[in-house]
Amino acid sequence: MKSPSEQRPGEASAKPPGRATKPKILMIHGAFCGPWSLEGLQRKFEAAGYPCKAPALRFHDEARPPAALGTTGLADYAADLADEISALGQPPILVGHSMGGLLAQQLAARVPVRALILLAPSPPWGVPPTTLFEIMSWGLDLNHASEVDADAVTAPLLLLTGSEDRINPPSTVARIAALYGERATAEVLDGMGHWLIGEPGWEKLVVRALEWLKERGL
């Protein structure tokens, strides 16, 4: 094996013998943004040894989204993400922000995952809403697009929300956590809002998430 001084630029070092490979992470961004919103978190997770993938939700990677975006819903996003999980070749850890946190719950009810880290997650169908968006106005949705079979989610969940979140406030996130009983850990980050993934102090999200994953041997 070459020493670091002998390696050419871009040449990877061999893994130390016996070092376990950490699970892959699939990161799911929220509405009105894209994978760029998770870049800071992704760098931190990858630096800790977790391979990450952060795909763009359908039509969210275009400068001028097509009209079809208006007829694209949660079921479409979930189907695309299920394909992404299948391509990973192993059950991943899901990290989702806002609407991405809701999609992570839906996916965990359908395919095997190792754990869920939900950041200011949007509530599933049946959880009392606090603001007026498609995924929160579930009472008007006869198709139950945001429904989650909570009993089918067997992986552990960490739910983090900001004390100042006005979209998915701690009271709403506590109701989400209650769906999963002892499998869920819900914590409130003081002074942070809904954009806790990019606000000053966002790094503490990853610190707490890494501690929680370590506690569970992941």
The DSSP symbol for 92 reads P
- Single-letter amino acid, residue 86: S
The DSSP symbol for 150 reads G
Output the six-digit token pair for 79.
């189907």
CB atoms within 10 A of CB 195: 18
25-215 topology per CATH:
Rossmann fold (3.40.50)
pLDDT in tens, the chain (218 residues): 444 444 443 344 444 444 568 999 999 999 888 999 999 999 999 999 999 999 999 855 656 665 655 556 788 899 999 999 999 999 999 999 999 999 999 999 999 999 999 999 999 966 876 655 745 555 555 466 678 999 999 999 999 999 999 999 999 999 999 999 999 999 999 999 999 999 999 999 999 999 999 999 99
pTM of the predicted structure, to 2 decimals:
0.82
Output the six-digit token pair for 95.
């990290």
Per-domain residue ranges for the chain?
25-215
How many residues belong to the chain?
218
The C-alpha angle 59, 104, 28, rounded to 5 degrees, equals: 45
